[in-house]
Amino acid sequence: MKRYSLTARMSMMFMLGVITVLIAAGLSFHALAKHHFKMLDQQILDEKIASAQHILNGIQSNQQFISAKPQLNALLGAHEDLAAFIFDHDGKVIFSAPKSFILPVEYQDPPSQSMFEWAEDGRLYRGLSADIPVEIQSIAQTVLLVIDVTTHQNFFEMLQRWFWLGLVLSALMSAVLGYLVARSGLEPLRQVTQTARAMSARSLNDRIPLEPVPQELQELVSSFNEMLSRLDDAFTRLSNFSADIAHELRTPVSNLVTHTEVVLSQQRNIESYQENLYSNLEDLNKMSRMIDDMLFLAKSDNGLIIPKQETIELNGLVGKLLEYYSLLADELGIQLHLTGNGYVLGDRLMLDRAISNLLSNALRYTPPGKVISIVIKSAARAVTLTVANPGEAINPDYLDKLFDRFFRADPARREGGPSNAGLGLAITRSVVEAHKGKIWCSSKQGLTSFFMEFPIPD
């Protein structure tokens, strides 16, 4: 099935609208004109009949009727399109003008005061009959007048031909004008199409200006510009992400290559080979963990992470983690403090991983001798778990980027062990969002707090 363009559809609709209006106007004018001419014909016949009745009223003898004939001829015979018949009480024609006009038999006794019409030999006639008022007995009983309205019929036929010709010309003109108007009105859409066609990875920052766009299309253009902004942001993140992956993998791969080349450069004893293999294993483990983390994040982005649905007591879950981190905290001279309790519905292993990432970060940036507080609060609709640690405040400009992959407040720093690739907070956010929750960070006055909020299970 062929699909027409929007311009063609609007042109057709405009043309159909014009045709409909013209047809409605033409039919209305045609009906009004016919009614007007009919009323004029009836008015002429009524006036003639009234005058004839005035002349015939009171004529009681043939002599009087013969004397009145000149008046009747002057009244009824002077009109070339008019024919008159006067009947006596027996229905006999006692006067006719013109003599050559033949009245059909079926119309010689029509209903009184009612206009009738008929067509004969290509001509159209209208007639009207009226009785003589009985004031004084008259020999005339009925007056019947017939008027030839063929000229009216010819006028309407000519008008109809011109109407259809004008309708065809108007339809063609309206189609052309509709096409021009629609094409001009849809120019902003073509601009959007051209901009979209010219879009590439290097021109995602282009935007369509709203000033020349009509009000009806501003919402569409605004949505398109917002889509370009999202694409630009996503592409920038993807580009940075690809660069970060290459950067993070380059170091362990370079270490593996260097160690292997050094070992292979000369004959060595078994201990040297074992030492090199242990060093390579450390880099391979780091790469393996990074790949696992990237696979986890990729599944999260595609909605493939489906947490188990079990009721979890957060106090017990966090308590076990604190037992694990207590040895490291003692070595650093840091205290861990847990308060509150709450229940969530989710996956124990995934929540364990998310909270573990927050605790690991807190231990990394907390000065010795300080306290890391873990607070669990239950409200009417949500449970909030807060991990707060003292230390240097985070720049407010970085708070919204903390959960981006490979993000570090100081790109030149590589704190922590070999597993610190900058993916921990990104994984934590994915876990929280998979549990229909939300996570955010607050850092001010020497205290950094991470908040995880989960909905209350039914």
Distance of CA 312 to the CA centre of its chain: 45
What is the rounded average pLDDT of the residues 75-91? 80
Pick the CATH number of 6-170 from 3.30.450.20, 3.40.50.2000, 3.40.50.300, 1.10.10.10: 3.30.450.20
Name the least confident of 162-166, 310-314, 342-346, 422-426: 422-426
Q: Is the pLDDT of residue 1 over 60?
A: no
Model pTM above 0.75? no
The 3 state secondary structure assigned to the chain is: CCCCCHHHHHHHHHHHHHHHHHHHHHHHHHHHHHHHHHHHHHHHHHHHHHHHHHHHCCCCCHHHHHHHHHHHHHHHCCCCCEEEEEEECCCCEEEEECCCCCCCHHHCCCCCCCCEEEEECCEEEEEEEEECCCCCCCCEEEEEEEEECHHHHHHHHHHHHHHHHHHHHHHHHHHHHHHHHHHHHCHHHHHHHHHHHCCCCCCCCCCCCCCCCCHHHHHHHHHHHHHHHHHHHHHHHHHHHHHHHHHHHHHHHHHHHHHHHHHHCCCCCHHHHHHHHHHHHHHHHHHHHHHHHHHHHHHHHCCCCCCCCEEEEHHHHHHHHHHHHHHHHHHHCCEEEEEECCEEEECHHHHHHHHHHHHHHHHHHCCCCCEEEEEEEECCCEEEEEEEEECCCCCHHHHHHCCCCCCCCCCCCCCCCCCCCCCHHHHHHHHHHHCCCEEEEEEECCEEEEEEEEECCC
155: number of CA atoms within 13 Å, CB side? 8
Max mean pLDDT range (147-151, 184-188, 397-401): 147-151
Q: Which residues, listed in sequence order, are joined to residue 355 by a DSSP beta bridge?
A: none
Q: 351-375: per-residue pLDDT in tens?
A: 888 898 899 889 988 999 899 999 9
Q: Which residue has the higher pLDDT, 172 or 206?
A: 172
d(CA 46, CA 337): 115
Provide the pLDDT for residue 388.
93
**At a CB cut-off of 8 Å and minimum separation 6, what does 33 contact?**
156, 159
Q: Is the pLDDT of residue 444 over 90?
A: no
Name the least confident of 118-127, 193-202, 438-447: 193-202
Q: Residue 386 — pLDDT band, cuts 50, 70, 90?
A: very high
Q: Edge-to-edge, what's the strand order for the sheet holding 371-378?
A: 335-340, 371-378, 382-390, 447-455, 438-444
Q: What is the mean pLDDT of the chain?
A: 80
Contact of 103 with 85, CB cutoff 8 Å: yes
- Would you list the domain boundaries of the chain? 6-170, 215-301, 310-455
Provide the pLDDT for residue 336.
92
Q: Is the pLDDT of residue 13 over 60?
A: yes
By percentage, how much of the chain surpasses pLDDT 70?
Answer: 84
What is the rounded average pLDDT of the residues 74-81? 77
Name the least confident of 22-26, 217-221, 226-230, 451-455: 217-221
Q: 208-226: per-residue pLDDT in tens?
A: 777 766 777 778 778 878 8
| CATH class given for the domain over 310-455 | alpha beta
Q: 108-155: per-residue pLDDT in tens?
A: 777 666 788 888 888 888 888 888 775 556 677 788 888 888 888 888
Provide the pLDDT for residue 420.
54
Q: Which residue has the higher pLDDT, 131 or 306?
A: 131
Q: Which fold, 215-301? A: Helix Hairpins (1.10.287)
Q: Which residue has the higher pLDDT, 218 or 324?
A: 324
Q: Is the pLDDT of residue 27 over 70?
A: yes
Distance of CA 378 to the CA centre of its chain: 43
**At a CB cut-off of 8 Å and minimum separation 6, what does 62 contact?**
139
What is the rounded average pLDDT of the residues 18-27? 89
User: In 3D, which of 441, 417, 420, 421 has the Cα closest to residue 429?
Assistant: 441
Provide the pLDDT for residue 387.
93
Provide the pLDDT for residue 159.
87
